Structure 1
Amino acid sequence: MAAVLEVRDLFASYRKNAVLEDVTFEIRPGTLTAIVGPNGAGKSTLLKTLLDQHPRLSGDVSFFGSAFRKVKSRIGYVPQRGSVDWDFPTDALDVVTMGLYGKIGWLRRPGRTHKELAMRALSEMGMADYAGRQISQLSGGQQQRVFLARALAQDAELYMLDEPLAGVDAVTERVIMDTLQRLKSQGKTVMVVHHDLQTVEDYFDRVLLLNRTVVAHGTTAEAFTRERLSAAYGGMLRWLEGKSG
């Protein structure tokens, strides 16, 4: 099957500091991929660069065989929670409805059908009862569920999430992962920047191990090994003691 995402020889920097160097990989449809690497490895920058939110110095990026701007309605993105202005005066339902503006058009008001789609997405995330709640009044886990609901409402084919499990409670983590695994079972493609190495093998079927460049990419069994993690993190990790591979 054709790749959902193809990245070739991607370079990016902040000021004069290289962040991504010669990054090359492909993402196939129907996969659930963890993007893993140490702090400063360029994981969040990778997503932003792929989505034209950060300039690339060179390289080629293709979604569904086209440039991002031509197929962006087919891609759902959930940024890091810390990058969002949660004091903006809006409620949860409006936040989710905003995810539909690509289909509605920015100069048109959402209709009843759009509100129903947004409510359905909130229900999927267990947040229907909070539809009228101001987002500033929600807990961190609830805010994360609302933003994932916004992506779900788009009915995208590729979902890209930047640390959706960071700082959330155990119940929210389970809800999010159940949702992502359900998307995969429906043939959707999911990429997740993930920080908890101990849950990678339980949650993901593929791993993109990144430290400015691609250290390894493949099935979790292939890419998530002691040797490759040691190469990416610069040494053996304590949690790996006693693990095979």
Structure 2
Amino acid sequence: MSVLKVENLSASYRKNKVLYDVNFDVQPGSLTGIVGPNGAGKSTLIKVILGLHPSLSGNVSFFDSTLAKTKSRVGYVPQRGSVDWDFPTNALDVVLMGLYGKVGWFKWPSKQDKELAMESLAQMGMADYADRQISQLSGGQQQRVFLARALVQNADLYFMDEPLVGVDAATETAIMTTLKHLKSAGKTVMVVHHDLLTVEDYFDHVMLLNKTIVGYGKTKDIFTKENVQRTYGGTLRWMKEA
């Protein structure tokens, strides 16, 4: 069974076509980096797949069904810059929001819910900051809290939009360790990523995207000089050159 199947997907922003004829099929237990130049449609692709931005055409299926029927199995971490970090709430409450799909918006979280949220914070090294207002956290700490919110959902498929942007080295290591643990547990993770130098170390699958799919598959097969230069318009120096 496919975890995610995308067929003939197209989308636009203000009459500018940003995605066209996108087709791919994701199998379970993979950790995929989505890479491409600025304006390639990487974030838009995730938003269209999740129904957060309209498509012009195409079909998307989750676990051979619809998103509406499988929403509890899908987790999403948006770009940190798109979040209102001045909202008056603490780290624990942010993580508990990840359980509202199961608990319900109008029920108080139970003791067990709070324990699950604390476990997710601890997994990201943020348990000591549970009562801290999110506006008082550093960028890296905020990203760890947001990832903890996704983890508490215990989803089967995760989308993460540039989770490593603007974080320190320790946070980057912690995030990638967590993502690799998710993969080892049979989860599927798709990550918008910007650093070509770490693609081979971080991801077993890679998607090269520039408004359409240039290549998608196992990193060792797809992440080649020729494919990367095709994705970036042939202007990018190959990083393996001395």
TM-score of the superposed pair, with normalisation by structure 1: 0.97
Unaligned runs of 5+ in 1: none
The one-letter amino acid of 1:87's match is D
**Is 2:112 the counterpart of 1:113?**
yes
CA contact (8 A) 2:98 2:153 kept: yes
1:1-245 equivalence runs, <5 A: 2-242=1-241
Aligned length: 242
How far did 1:240 drift?
Answer: 2.2
The one-letter amino acid of 1:83's match is S
Distance in 1 between residues matched to 2:83 and 2:198, nearest whole Å: 26
Deviations along 1:183-209, one digit per CA (max 9) or x if unpaired, are: 000000000000000000000000010
SS in 2 for 1:54: coil
Distance in 2 between residues matched to 1:192 and 1:26, nearest whole Å: 15
Unaligned runs of 5+ in 2: none
CA contact (8 A) 1:229 1:236 kept: no
CA contact (8 A) 1:162 1:193 kept: yes
SS in 2 for 1:23: strand
The one-letter amino acid of 1:84's match is V
CA contact (8 A) 1:215 1:232 kept: yes
Distance in 1 between residues matched to 2:176 and 2:55, nearest whole Å: 31
The one-letter amino acid of 2:116's match is L
Distance in 2 between residues matched to 1:39 and 1:223, nearest whole Å: 20
Deviations along 1:166-192, one digit per CA (max 9) or x if unpaired, are: 010000000000000000000000000
The one-letter amino acid of 2:26's match is I
How far did 1:238 drift?
Answer: 2.4
Distance in 1 between residues matched to 2:51 and 2:131, nearest whole Å: 32
> Relative to structure 2, which stretch is displaced further, 143-152 or 65-74?
65-74
Distance in 2 between residues matched to 1:70 and 1:57, nearest whole Å: 22
TM-score of the superposed pair, with normalisation by structure 2: 0.98
SS in 2 for 1:141: helix
The one-letter amino acid of 1:237's match is L
How far did 1:135 drift?
Answer: 0.2
Deviations along 1:129-175, one digit per CA (max 9) or x if unpaired, are: 00000000000000000000000000000011000000100000000
The one-letter amino acid of 1:112's match is K
How far did 1:67 drift?
Answer: 1.2
SS in 1 for 2:38: coil
Deviations along 1:192-233, one digit per CA (max 9) or x if unpaired, are: 000000000000000010000000001111111110111110
Q: Percent identity?
A: 68
